[in-house]
Amino acid sequence: MAAVTLSQFAAAVVISYLGLLSGFFLALLTREELPTAKKYFPWLEKLIILAVAAFVMDFFSINIVARVVVYIVLLLFFIYGYNLKLVYAAFGAAIFAVSKDSNTLLVVAALVFLFGLLSGSGYFDSKLKRKDVVRGAAKVFANNLLCPAVAIVLFLAFG
């Protein structure tokens, strides 16, 4: 396992977080396709959450019983709904948790980026006027700052 420096970790966190803004602006450019695509986004988001959980559990070599418990808990969250801000906080913790291995860090950061593409476009309102785009992007960015904040604070405190 290759050690990860602060600059590499920060770059992975920032790039993974930019998926939100990318998704928002991608939705801006594809307004007419968005209603059809939004039907599939919740399922894809859940698949990405499960994939992040699988990579983190594989990184720590969690036994099968604990994996089943984690998947059951995640499925209960999916059934009863989940808060996007808390998901991003968990992603920040997951990125920190796997930061000892640069390969796993990049995989988890890429999955968070893909999740951001989906959830960022979910923030987009088709009635948004051109002059309000910057304000809308700032709102998307500010609403989910827990991901980079949690990741950077944990890395500085324990990394």
Give residue 21's region: left, alpha or beta (phi > 0; psi -120 to 50): alpha
Mean pLDDT along residues 20-28: 86
Domain boundaries, the chain: 6-158
* Nearest partner of 80 among 39, 131, 123, 46, judged by Cα: 46
More confident residue, 47 or 128: 47
pLDDT value at 151 more than 70: yes
Range 1-38 burial, b when 16+ CB lie within 10 A, else e:
eeebeeeebeebbebbbbbbbbbbbbbbeeeeebeeee
- H/E/C letters for each residue in 32-93? CCHHHHCCCHHHHHHHHHHHHHHHHHHHCCCCHHHHHHHHHHHHHHHHHCCCHHHHHHHHHH
Under the banding of pLDDT at 50, 70 and 90, the label for residue 2 is low
How confident is the model at residue 30, as a pLDDT? Answer: 84
Model confidence at 115: pLDDT above 90: yes
Over residues 57-82, the mean pLDDT reads: 94
Model confidence at 1, pLDDT cuts 50, 70, 90, reads low
CA angle 38, 72, 47 (to 5 degrees): 30
Which has more confidence, 7 or 131? Answer: 7
pTM of the model: 0.90
- 84-95 confidence digits (pLDDT tens): 888 999 999 999
Q: What is the structure's pLDDT at 84?
A: 85
Distance (Å, whole) CA 52 – CA 107: 9
Q: In which band, very low, low, confident or very high, does the pLDDT at 126 lie, cut at 50, 70 and 90? A: low
pLDDT beyond 60 at 15: yes
Do residues 59 and 104 make contact, with C-beta atoms less than 8 angstroms apart? yes
**pLDDT of amino acid 109:** 95
Handedness of CA 63, 2, 106, 94 (dihedral sign): positive
